[in-house]
Structure 1
Amino acid sequence: MSDRHVPTDDSWVPDACTLPTAERPLRLAEFDQFFRAAVRGADRLSARHLRLHLAGAEQVEETARDLTARESSCCSFFTFEIGRPGADALTLDIRVPAAHVDVLDALARRATSARERR
């Protein structure tokens, strides 16, 4: 997948997001950095559900919890769930309502693209 398929701006961010517009590029950069460092794989379990397989380090889990908590506070339509299926395995499940599948699509492209650029 090439970068031309990945939105480079925040035009795909829905109006339901309450993060101030000026802060959105910073948050996107945080997600991109996290995706590059931590994502080891991705499964699209349904149109509304994405599962990211992450490096299992404790620091990755702390970063995931911090980033998803902050994202949930401004984009309440996201549901994030962090799981530890094994000692060295970590998953991040991301769910959205049907009205925001396009946002999950964009997030999935960003995660996959960032992982490929690593």
Structure 2
Amino acid sequence: MSAEAELWAPQACTLPTGERPLRVAEFDALFAEAVQNVRRVDSTSVSLDLQPQLEVAARVADLVVRETGCCSFFTFSLVATGDSLRLEIKVPAKHADVLEALAARAEGMST
């Protein structure tokens, strides 16, 4: 796993170390295939505009439910309105660096 990926898979994560590269790969695939825009709301909040498709919503919901099981400091909100789909991600201030690393990774891979 790259050093950049490790920044947003911090020690606070309870996912077994051997499974972390697989989870990072899932997020990377999502970022590359479904993220259309990354917007930093503030240091503890990021919004990802996603392709507004049912399959994307189901995939994201599954992924974020599993992620909160190991990194409970994340708060994910999946918002569907009209013809848009958005994933809002929030963290406590002490994990702002984790969110920044995740947002930077999403920006680097998004469509």
Residues 49 and 94 of structure 1 are in contact (CA less than 8 Å); yes or no, is this contact kept in structure 2? yes
Q: Tell me what 1:58 maps to.
A: 54
Partners of 2:40 and 2:47 within 8 A in 1: yes
Q: In the alignment, which residue of structure 1 is the partner of 2:97?
A: 102
Checking the alignment, whether the CA contact within 8 Å between 1:81 and 1:92 is kept in structure 2 is yes
Q: Could you list the runs of 5+ residues in structure 1 that have no partner in the other structure? A: 1-5
| Matched letter for residue 108 of structure 1 | A
What is the rounded CA distance, in whole Å, between the counterparts of 2:7 and 2:37 in structure 1?
26
Indicate whether 1:31 and 2:27 are aligned.
yes
Change in Cα spacing, 1:89 to 1:11, as seen in structure 2 (3 Å) is closer
Sequence identity, in percent? 47
**TM-score, normalised with respect to structure 1:** 0.88
Find runs of 4+ consecutive structure 1 residues off by over 3 angstroms. Answer: 6-9
- Superposed, which structure 2 residues align to 1:1-118 within 5 Å? 7-86=3-82, 88-115=83-110, 118=111
The structural deviation recorded for 1:80 is 0.1
Instruction: Give CA-to-partner distance per residue, 1:68-110, whole Å, 9 cap, x none.
Output: 0000000000000000122x21000000000000000110011
Give SS of 2:6's match: coil
Q: CA contact under 8 A between 2:4 and 2:101: conserved in structure 1? A: no
The TM-score, its normalising length taken from structure 2, stands at: 0.93
Paired residue type of 1:109: A
Stretches of structure 2 lacking an aligned partner (at least 5 in a row): none
CA RMSD in angstroms, aligned pairs only: 1.4
Number of equivalences:
110
